[in-house]
Amino acid sequence: MTVLPSVASDTRVDLAVTTVRELNQLLHDAEPGSSWEISHPRGAHNVAVGIDAEIDVSVDGNVGYYFAGMHQRGRVMVQGSAGVGLAENMMSGVVHVTGDASQSAGATAHGGLLVIDGNTGARCGISMKGVDIVVGGDIGHASAFMAQAGRLVVCGDAGDALGDSIYEARIYVRGRVASLGADCVEKPLRAEHIEELAELLGRAGRDESPTEFRRYGSARSLYHFHVDNVGAY
């Protein structure tokens, strides 16, 4: 399963001999249409942050905190797992992790497509603002907390307090939900939702049937303060 196509690398960078700062500068200066292969990341933090060009980047190995943070354009793949804050505040483009991701994947992200083939930790999609996130496995507790816009698709199970204080984001879960957060409720899965879910799954390289998912969203009871809801704030 893959989102990024196989491409011949124009440039190979070995993080055993090149610093992360040097690599990121190379990527910021890269020519549009170029492709990059990064080896020996060895869990380094802040790899491939702030990319703003239509380039392809493939990282062979695990990365640490804040991989592809502030991603704006292009496509980035990690052949491995990622640490805390994967693709935090990404704006557009594609970020794809073939393994697992730690906490806060896609936090505050405004747009683009984030694909995680494995599982994620707590707070996946926290305060998401328009990003599409597709997780092949399970997600941890407090995911999509205060999610404002975008779609979160979970092909596995979801932890406690899913969608707590959610605004207008849509959540699709194929497996079990441990519990829903404040103001998050199950909603009907209508034809238009099946259609958009099929499109998202296809873009992420998934083959699950969209009819196997359930949809969750805001009950819209916490938009404005009301004394009867004081215990839920």
**Cβ proximity of 120 and 101 under 8 Å:** yes
The pLDDT value recorded for residue 5 is: 40
Query: How does pLDDT run across 47-95, given as a tens digit for each residue?
Result: 999 999 999 999 999 999 999 999 999 999 999 999 999 999 999 999 9
Q: Place 9 in a pLDDT band, splitting at 50, 70 and 90.
A: low
User: Average of pLDDT values for 192-220?
Assistant: 96
Placement of tokens 């990059």 in the chain: 36
Please say if the pLDDT value at position 6 is more than 60.
no
Q: Place 227 in a pLDDT band, splitting at 50, 70 and 90.
A: low
Round the CA-based radius of gyration of the chain to a whole number and report it: 18
> Could you give the residue ranges of the DSSP H alpha helices within 37-112?
none
Mean pLDDT of the chain: 93
CATH number at 32-206: 2.160.20.60
**Cβ proximity of 106 and 114 under 8 Å:** yes
> Could you give the residue ranges of the DSSP H alpha helices within the chain?
20-28, 191-203
The pLDDT value recorded for residue 139 is: 98
Please say if the pLDDT value at position 7 is more than 60.
no
Strand partners, 56: 35, 75
CA-CA distance, 105 to 44, in Å (whole number)?
Answer: 17
User: Which pTM value belongs to this model?
Assistant: 0.92
**Cβ proximity of 126 and 146 under 8 Å:** yes
